[in-house]
Structures are given as structure tokens and as C-alpha cells.
Copies of this chain bind each other. A is one copy, B any other.
Amino acid sequence: MATRTKQAEKRASLKLFDQALDYGVLARLTGFALRRASVIDFARFSEAIGDATITPLRFSLLELVGQNPGFQQVQLADALGLSRSAATVTIDYWEQRGSLERRPDPNDRRSYGIYLTREGETQLKRLEQLVIEHDRWLTRKLEPAERATLGELLEKICAR
């Protein structure tokens, strides 16, 4: 039992990337650096939120619904680069928690508009604060100007 705990403990400390090793071309790859940073972000996200089931993707969807009430599932899926089935599952998650609801679209009976519930609005406001705090933690080593620059450069990468 002690052994298992130790193994889990060791992994939990997440001391990525060993100084003793030569990373070769990896050290020159933007893609590798992006992945590293993303892993760090992801690893602390749920912890910062205080709920292991709330992932970055799930938060993103809730935020998107909050900002764009009434949009179709298909639009939300596209906006996040998800399949329709993945969007269904993610929406199910929040609906089961009472944070959002599907309302039949009066103009197209195949589809629903997705809306926050009253509970969802409260929840989202709470999460926004925690996520913003977490993001500040993630970028705590950067000056405000550097953070802005990073945002612009990443934006350029994503622009088509």
C-alpha cells in the first residue's frame, strides 16, 4: 500500500523535463513547447477549479453558451473543433448538473437552442473567476506586456 501511494505521489508532482537529458531538435520545435505548456495548464486546471470533472473543454463550452445563448449544438461543436457526438456528451454533462438546458427551436424542430439555467449563470460566474486566477498563475512568470505578446503570437499561429 505504501508503495502505491509513493508511485502516485511521484507522478502527481509532475516534474516534467529532465535537465540531465539532451532534447535535441525537440528544444527547437514550437510544437513541442506548445505541448509542454498545454500539459502544465491542463494538469493544474481541474485542481485550480476544485472539481476534477471540470476540464478546460467543459468550461469552454459553458462559457461559449453563456456568451452565445440559443446557439445550436452544431455551432458550438464547430466553434470548439468537436464532433457532434462529442458536443452531445459535453452538453449532457452540464445539463445533468442543471447548469444548462436544451430548448426546442420553434423554427426548426430538429434542433435545440442551448441556454444557461439560473444555476448555470451562477456557476459560470464562479468558474470564470477561478479560471482567470488559474490563467494568471500559469503566466505568473510573464510581465503584462509579455503576456500580451504571447497572445498575439499564438493568435497568428491560429489565424488561417
Q: Closest CB-CB distance, A47 to chain B, in whole Å?
A: 13
Residues of chain A at the chain B interface (Cβ within 8 Å) = 11, 14-18, 20-26, 28-42, 45, 56, 60, 63-64, 66-68, 71, 75, 78-81, 83, 128, 131-132, 134-135, 138-139, 141-142, 146-147, 149-151, 153-160
Q: Which residue of chain B lies nearest to A35 when distances are taken between CB atoms in the complex?
A: B38
Give Cα distance in the complex from A80 to B92, angstroms. Answer: 34
By DSSP majority rule, is chain A's interface helix, strand, loop, or mixed? helix
A31, B14: Cβ atoms closer than 8 Å:
no
Give every chain B residue within 8 A of A134 (Cβ-Cβ).
31
Partner of A25, one of B21, B22, B32, B132: B132
B81, A39: Cβ atoms closer than 8 Å:
yes
Q: Closest CB-CB distance, A6 to chain B, in whole Å?
A: 13
